[in-house]
Structure 1
Amino acid sequence: MKVFHLHFGKDGGAEKFFVHLVRALAHQGVEQTAVIRRSRAWRPQIEPYARIIESNFRNLSLDRLTLPIRIRNLAERERPDAIMSWVMRAGRLTPRYRHGLTVSRLGDYPSHLDYFKTTEMLVCNTPDIADHVRRIGWTRGVEVISNFTQTDLVPPVPRKTVDTPDNAPVVMTMGRFVKRKGFDTLIEAVAKLPGVFLWIAGDGAERAALETLVRERDMEGRTRFLGWQADTRPFVAAADVFVMPSTHEPLGNVILEAWAQKRPVVTSRAEGPSWFVKEGENGLFADIGNADQFAGAISRILSDPVLAGDLSEGGHATLMRQFSEEATAAAYIDLFRRRP
């Protein structure tokens, strides 16, 4: 089986899942070609598993204008079973293709369907996204195939390497520093919890604003900005509580990563987590933007080891039952076999 991927994302949770899926499909014997932006930090992670073609993917550049033609010619010559676009703008570069399936993978809610004129099948990673595309007029194929993450437990990073006392409670979060990730709410929440340290992995446009808020809340001594990490698992494993405070989150892949390390989770009532997190069974909820509720949920977990253990085990069980690599890879391979 052959698959072409068109992926023009940058850095974040969607890119992590892309890396995971490329590796999982390779383990099942799928031959893959990935067209990606130049100089992606995660390129080395897919190099063993896929042929890589780089593109500037800049509007009005010669590279951007000729890319659809090059992809079409390569596909006509090599005849992959599927051409799969990632992130909505890549859908516009998907050529019309008569030898296999054209697929666009959606991890968010599109505002319109113009991106997908040459797409025969939309893969949505939650049922709510699938319902949304049907509501706005999509009449071709729709499949719901969710994300997965690596499930092996890893040793925690020593806290001294992050300038954190061994006996200090640690709250962790991660993602791209954009407003919808809600990291400002989490800073406000942890500021209400004396002695609790906050680790934030990632980077982005909002970094300066977040650093300013940390100073305003007198949190410099117990906040650690970790930057982008090639492997976040040791940091997640070292935390006492993982928090996802997003105002909008179609799925919430970082929750799956926390469950993989058996960490208790607090999440906002965003779209994705509201689908698979069950209050008191595998996580605790807080209302979007409500720092008091986040602080209260974190405090409950830190003060109740039995609750923390129950949430950790419940989350891990949900992960293994609903979001396994084997099931997800098999679902994609089955889809790719459906030739038009």
Structure 2
Amino acid sequence: MKVMHFHFGKDGGAERFFVHLLNGLAEHGVQQKIVIRPDRAWKNNIHSSVEVIESHFRTASLDRFLLPLRVNALIRHWKPNSVLGWMPKGAKLVPGNPKPHRLVRLGDYPTTLKKFRNIDTVVCNTPGIASHVRAMGWMRGVEVISNFTDMERVAPFSRSAMNTPEDAFVISSMGRFVPRKGFDVLIQALAERPKAYLWLIGNGEQEGNLRALAEQLGVDDRVRFAGWQKDPRPFIAASDCFAMASSHEPLGNVVLEAWAQHVPVVSTRSEGPTWFMRDGDNGLMVDIGDHQAFAREIGRVQDDVEMSRKLVASGLRTLEQQFSADAVVRAYMALFAAHP
């Protein structure tokens, strides 16, 4: 089986899943070629059998015109079973040649279907995205295949290296520092948890604003900015609670990663978590933007060790039953095989 992928994402949860899937397919004997941006930090994590082609695919560049020609020639010669564009930008490179099965994989809600004119099947990672695509008028194939994460537990990162007391209650969170991720809400919640520390893993345009807010609220001595991490798992593993405050989160890979490290989760009722989390069972859930509710539910995790253990155990069951690597990889392979 041969599959070609086009992925022009940068660095984040979607890219980590992309690598997980490439490696899972490779371990099942699938031959793969991928087109990605140059110098991706995660490139070296990709299975050695995967052929990597690097391209900017920028609007104003010679590569913009030459890459589609190169890709079409490669497809004619290599004859893949399927061609998979990741996100709308990747879908734009999927050729009109009808012989391979042409797919796009979506991890967010598209605003238009115009980039999918050459696509046979849309693969969505949540039922909500699938319903949204159908409501927009998509009449061709739609499949729902979700994500999985690495279940390996890792050694926790050193708290002393993060200038954090060993006996402190540590809240971790992760993502791009943009408004929709709600890190400001967590800093506000921290102000109501005087014995807790907050580790923020990531970077982005809002970092200066977040630092200023922490100083304004008098919690800057308990907020740690870890920066972007190639492997964030040790930081999550070193925490006592993971908090996700997003106002818009189609799935929430970070929740899966926290569960895999046996860390209890407090999350907003955004789209993805509302699908797979059950309040009081595998996590605690709060309304979007409610920093007081975050402070309260984080306090419950801090004060009730037995409840926290139950949240983790149920989260692990959800991972195994709903987000298993074997099931997801086999679902993709079945989809590719259905269109020889």
1:68 CA displacement: 1.4
Query: What is aligned with 1:221?
Result: 221
Query: What is aligned with 1:312?
Result: 312
Q: Any runs of at least 4 consecutive aligned residues in structure 1 with deviations exceeding 2 A, and if so which?
A: none
In the TM superposition, what whole-angstrom CA distance separates every residue of 1:71-130 from its partner, at most 9, and x where no partner exists? 111111100111101121121111012332111000000011001000100000000110
The residue matched to 1:33 in structure 2 has which SS? strand
Query: What is aligned with 1:71?
Result: 71
Is 2:127 the counterpart of 1:127? Answer: yes
The residue matched to 2:5 in structure 1 has which SS? strand
Equivalent-residue separation in structure 1 for 2:205 and 2:20 (angstroms): 26
1:158 CA displacement: 2.2
Amino acid at match of 1:37: R
1:67 CA displacement: 1.4
Equivalent-residue separation in structure 2 for 1:209 and 1:66 (angstroms): 41
Query: What is aligned with 2:179?
Result: 179
Equivalent-residue separation in structure 2 for 1:144 and 1:56 (angstroms): 29
In the TM superposition, what whole-angstrom CA distance separates every residue of 1:297-338 from its partner, at most 9, and x where no partner exists? 100110000111110111011111110100000000000112
Equivalent-residue separation in structure 2 for 1:199 and 1:330 (angstroms): 36
Query: What is aligned with 2:3?
Result: 3
Question: Mapping of 1:82-121 within 5 angstroms?
Answer: 82-121=82-121
Query: What is aligned with 2:151?
Result: 151
Query: What is aligned with 2:284?
Result: 284
Equivalent-residue separation in structure 1 for 2:48 and 2:183 (angstroms): 34
Contact 1:177 1:203 in 2 (8 A): yes
Contact 1:103 1:122 in 2 (8 A): yes
Equivalent-residue separation in structure 1 for 2:268 and 2:256 (angstroms): 15
1:189 CA displacement: 0.7
1:177 CA displacement: 1.2
The residue matched to 2:4 in structure 1 has which SS? strand
Query: What is aligned with 1:261?
Result: 261
Query: What is aligned with 1:332?
Result: 332
Equivalent-residue separation in structure 1 for 2:233 and 2:183 (angstroms): 19
Amino acid at match of 1:74: L
Query: What is aligned with 1:208?
Result: 208
Contact 1:81 1:339 in 2 (8 A): yes
Equivalent-residue separation in structure 2 for 1:183 and 1:229 (angstroms): 17
Amino acid at match of 1:337: A
Gaps of 5+ in 1: none
RMSD: 1.0
Alignment size in residue pairs:
340
Equivalent-residue separation in structure 1 for 2:160 and 2:133 (angstroms): 47
Amino acid at match of 2:206: E
Amino acid at match of 1:136: M
When the two structures are superposed, what TM-score results if normalisation uses the length of structure 2? 0.98
Equivalent-residue separation in structure 1 for 2:273 and 2:64 (angstroms): 36
Equivalent-residue separation in structure 2 for 1:132 and 1:296 (angstroms): 33
The residue matched to 1:224 in structure 2 has which SS? strand
In the TM superposition, what whole-angstrom CA distance separates every residue of 1:129-174 from its partner, at most 9, and x where no partner exists? 1000000000000000000000111221221121111000000000
The residue matched to 2:11 in structure 1 has which SS? coil
Q: Sequence identity, in percent? A: 49
Query: What is aligned with 1:61?
Result: 61
Equivalent-residue separation in structure 2 for 1:285 and 1:47 (angstroms): 37
Amino acid at match of 2:32: Q
Query: What is aligned with 2:30?
Result: 30
1:2 CA displacement: 0.9
Contact 1:22 1:49 in 2 (8 A): no
1:47 CA displacement: 5.4
Query: What is aligned with 1:164?
Result: 164
Equivalent-residue separation in structure 2 for 1:206 and 1:97 (angstroms): 42
Equivalent-residue separation in structure 1 for 2:328 and 2:127 (angstroms): 15
Amino acid at match of 2:211: E
Equivalent-residue separation in structure 1 for 2:85 and 2:49 (angstroms): 18
Contact 2:23 2:47 in 1 (8 A): no
Contact 1:32 1:49 in 2 (8 A): yes
Contact 1:169 1:302 in 2 (8 A): yes
The more displaced of 260-269 and 203-212 is: 203-212
Amino acid at match of 2:313: E
Query: What is aligned with 1:46?
Result: 46
The residue matched to 1:102 in structure 2 has which SS? strand
